[in-house]
Amino acid sequence: MICGRLRRWEALYRPSVFPQAFVDRKSITSAKLFLLKIDDEGAIRGSLALERFAPTLVDVHAYGCRLAARRNEALREKGSLTAKSRRVYCGSYRLNVRSVRALVGTEGLDEVAEADVTHLVEEGEIAHGDLRIVLRERVGDIEGLKTAIADRLWNSSCGPIVHVCPSDRDLDNHPSELSDLAPKGVCAKVGYVGQLWRLARSYLCGWLWRRKAGVW
């Protein structure tokens, strides 16, 4: 079904937020970019934006700008928002669902039993996707495994697709200039027909989700 389980060729985006995704505020590292965590059940979790609900780069960048804005608001509420701690969205990196599922059976990642991305609305973001990786057994060096998984995802990514949010135009030296080129290089542009298809799918899937959730 068009709005069922994510298809393997569907695109996923990982927003790059400064300084969190950067090591020493200088360059991106895969571990900091994907920021994988362990949940209460021992699974490895991460967040991605789904092209299914963010069909254009305008939508993807709007998602990233809102993400940085929420983090800045959280810092402001704590009284710890400063020029140095300010979160700045720098753009996004793209990969696909197939790259996530391919973690199962990848050489060197024998501990991975399941890996997939599902639609999970979070903080009001309909385009939010939940990355969940289930392990075969308890792993001693979990941090090492997380790093290896993040590195694999990084090597399956293209980008960066850089962007400057309207709220960050006051910055003389925007940190997007520090963004590293992903292993897959510059992301290919989507053709006109492909754009129309993505827009139509997003509209339909969004309508179906709102109907099911009772959100209008």
The most distant pair of C-alpha atoms in the chain lies apart, rounded to whole Å, by 49
Angstrom distance (rounded) from CA 188 to CA 203: 23
pLDDT at residue 29 greater than cutoff 60:
yes
Segment 106-140, tens digit of pLDDT = 998 999 999 999 999 999 999 999 999 999 988 88
Segment 65-115, tens digit of pLDDT = 999 999 999 999 999 999 999 999 999 999 999 999 999 999 989 999 999
Segment 42-52, tens digit of pLDDT = 999 999 999 99
Cβ(173)–Cβ(152) under 8 Å?
no
Segment 169-213, tens digit of pLDDT = 999 999 999 999 999 999 999 999 999 999 999 999 999 999 888
DSSP symbol at 175 = G
Can you give the pLDDT at residue 65?
Answer: 98
Can you give the pLDDT at residue 138?
Answer: 81
pTM (predicted TM-score): 0.95
Angstrom distance (rounded) from CA 13 to CA 50: 7
Neighbours of 37 (CB within 10 A): 10
DSSP 111-133: TEEEEEEEE--BTTBTTEEEEEE
Cβ(43)–Cβ(121) under 8 Å?
no
Angstrom distance (rounded) from CA 149 to CA 109: 8
Angstrom distance (rounded) from CA 118 to CA 88: 26
